[in-house]
Structure 1
Amino acid sequence: MDKKNIKKVVLAYSGGLDTSIIIPWLKENYNNCEVIAVSGNVGQGTELDGLEEKAIQTGASKLYIEDLTDEFVDEFIIPTVKAGALYEDYMLGTSFARPLIAKRLVEIAKAEGADAICHGCTGKGNDQVRFELAIKAFAPDMPIIAPWREWSIKSREEEIAYAEAHNIPLKITRETNYSKDKNLWHLSHEGLDLEDPGNEPQYEKAGFLEMGVSPMQAPDHPTYITLDFEQGVPVALDGQKMSAKEIILKLNDLGGANGVGLLDIVENRLVGMKCRGVYETPGGAILYHALKVLETLCLDKYAAHKKQELAITFADLVYNGQWYTPLRKALSAFVDVLMEHCTGKVKLKLYKGNIINAGVWSDWSLYDPEIATFDEDEVYNQADSAGFISLFGLPIKVQAKVDAKNTGKQ
């Protein structure tokens, strides 16, 4: 990439530490190029406040703030939940937001006639892959600028020093400098004391958790909720019809208040290293749990087991930035077929970080109490099981006889 040809750059802009210093850095290192900042609103709330003024003051020519929340929920979150996809127990909050934002970056870059797209992802992280693979899916020849792979800055400490030298206002300090990512689905925490897996997360410390409270601080009484699903999609909460986005936001409040959805893991990053993260996903934890309960009624054994198996593949694809691939689309189609009869109602009890089953109902239930009962019934002949066991165990019986004959231990 010839820097002389870069006259206009579209920057994925969050207003956080990385992207705050990238605007002046781009102008210093790419011939005072025009920088157009783009912020994808995926539900990060107050983080968007004052963003336009900040972007302009630090050198951007304009800022797009794009409301992507409905598309984020309907086209990314819900398909992933329906798939039951978890990456090492992580509910993929950052992972499936990146391809959506990247797609919008490309659309704006094309409309603006930009020469390149820039992101603030580090060379150690997963997001660089997610952004760049999505950009390649929609603009395969678009040059991509990744400052972390170019500049001499080596740490967040040095980033703060650069910001201070360029009079760039920051919302963080050296003491509160967790690396965070927030959207309407989750909040992640990395860095500082969390870099040592031996350190317990400070859940009770004021200001650490943002989407809820520690289970230790949750109420001493449970909260009951009821979720209605239609073909695997949440459509009502406590009998009130809502959009999936509205349900997630309400579940965030209910789950967060009860200390639900905290996850502390050391995960395997795509780039080969392990990292430690703490995640808040209160509404997501409830949705995953509720749909799984409904599936126990509505999916047969082989469908449920195959779905569980392929959920790992689905999660790997999402985590590794492979959203816009034929395989991910094919897996979503597979899931949609299995969800055709996953319609029903699930009741749950939320209590001090726990999600407890409190009832499940479906007109498509495959559970037949008349067959399953331990009492007398008229529909199941227990004598039939002898023939079943004889045929099911035939390979074992034959193998045992062959082993005995060939080892002389008849």
Structure 2
Amino acid sequence: LPIIAPIRDKNLDRETELKFANKHGIEIDAVAKRFSIDQNLWGRAIEGGVLEDPYNEPPDDAFIWVKTKNLPDKASYLEIKFEQGIPVAVDGKKLESQKLIEYINKKAGDAGVGIVDHIEDRVVGIKSREVYETPAATCLIEAHSDLEKMVHTKHENKFKSIIDDEWAYLVYSGLWQDPLRADLDGFIEQSQKPVSGTVKLKMFKGSLRVVGRKSKNSLYSHEIATYGTESTFDQRLAKGFVELWGMQSTEANKLQKKRSTKT
């Protein structure tokens, strides 16, 4: 199908667009007149206007989903349940994906959570200042990442971060159809099989942090991790481990000292 994109093809600037809308009776709200805004279920992207100076603080009225004033003096909590990496319930309520995202958007936004303000590298090479409202995305990503840390080995977690970055880059760059994206999907799908459990988030005046997590697939063992008398970990094993783990580094350090002495 042909792509009809008059704003792009005619290379229109913001003022010309607004004049066109006014001439043809297209209503533009006050915020949209001052900023360029894209909005969907996952978030709002706000740019342009005073935000084109990266040192200017975004005005409060630019935000609709996230409260920036008169925030509650009492913390609120979210409990998000995942099944094989997919969020399926929040605060004890099983919801389909759209309703779940809408619920978190409202609750987290009311707590002031979900504003992202950063410098972004566009695919075409332009650096731009982007401001986002993403309450649900912020909470879900934080909770999901924390749960992965609990159920994956450290090697899986390290490699998964590389995969996540590459997958995000491909999608952001418009390369959804690239075969690599499907290849990465295969790894991601396999990695999510043990990612089932519940994560508890605490929100207070714009701050967000994980304060609890649980999973039947947890690799955390109280008996091994505890410092108490019930610990099953033999600390004496550490001596041999330290010597082996640092062997190459120790030898390299000795060699460097010899070289520096000769010079």
TM-score by length of 2: 0.92
Residues 174, 299 of structure 1: alpha-carbon distance in 2 compared, 3 angstrom cutoff: closer
Are 2:66 and 1:212 aligned? Answer: yes
Are 2:221 and 1:368 aligned? Answer: yes
Task: Look up the SS of the partner of 2:192 in the other structure.
Answer: helix
Residues 394, 321 of structure 1: alpha-carbon distance in 2 compared, 3 angstrom cutoff: same
Counting matched residue pairs gives 262
CA distance in 2, matches of 1:155, 1:396: 58
Aligned equivalent of 1:181 = 38
Aligned equivalent of 1:266 = 119
CA distance in 2, matches of 1:199, 1:378: 54
CA distance in 2, matches of 1:402, 1:219: 60
Contiguous gaps of at least 5 residues in structure 1: 1-108, 110-115, 121-146
Aligned equivalent of 2:8 = 148
CA distance in 2, matches of 1:293, 1:174: 36
Note the 1:29-178 alignment, pairs <5 A.
109=1, 116-120=2-6, 148-149=8-9, 151=10, 154-165=12-23, 167-172=24-29, 176-178=33-35
Residues 378, 282 of structure 1: alpha-carbon distance in 2 compared, 3 angstrom cutoff: closer
Maintained 8 Å contact 1:225/1:348: yes
Residues 378, 160 of structure 1: alpha-carbon distance in 2 compared, 3 angstrom cutoff: closer
Are 2:184 and 1:331 aligned? Answer: yes
CA distance in 2, matches of 1:384, 1:209: 55
Aligned equivalent of 1:197 = 54
TM-score by length of 1: 0.60
Amino acid aligned to 1:290: A
C-alpha RMSD of matched pairs (Å): 2.0
CA distance in 2, matches of 1:213, 1:403: 57
Amino acid aligned to 1:396: S
Amino acid aligned to 1:162: F
Residues 240, 160 of structure 1: alpha-carbon distance in 2 compared, 3 angstrom cutoff: closer
CA distance in 2, matches of 1:372, 1:272: 47
Amino acid aligned to 2:5: H
CA distance in 1, matches of 2:207, 2:92: 22
Contiguous gaps of at least 5 residues in structure 2: none
CA distance in 2, matches of 1:370, 1:406: 47
Task: Look up the SS of the partner of 1:117 in the other structure.
Answer: coil
Structure 1 vs Structure 2: percent identity of aligned residues?
35
CA distance in 2, matches of 1:229, 1:175: 36
TM-fit CA distance, 1:170: 2.9
Aligned equivalent of 1:14 = none
Task: Look up the SS of the partner of 1:317 in the other structure.
Answer: helix
CA distance in 1, matches of 2:135, 2:117: 13
Question: What whole-Å deviation, never above 9, does each CA across 1:178-202 have from its counterpart, x for those lacking one?
Answer: 1110101101111111111121111
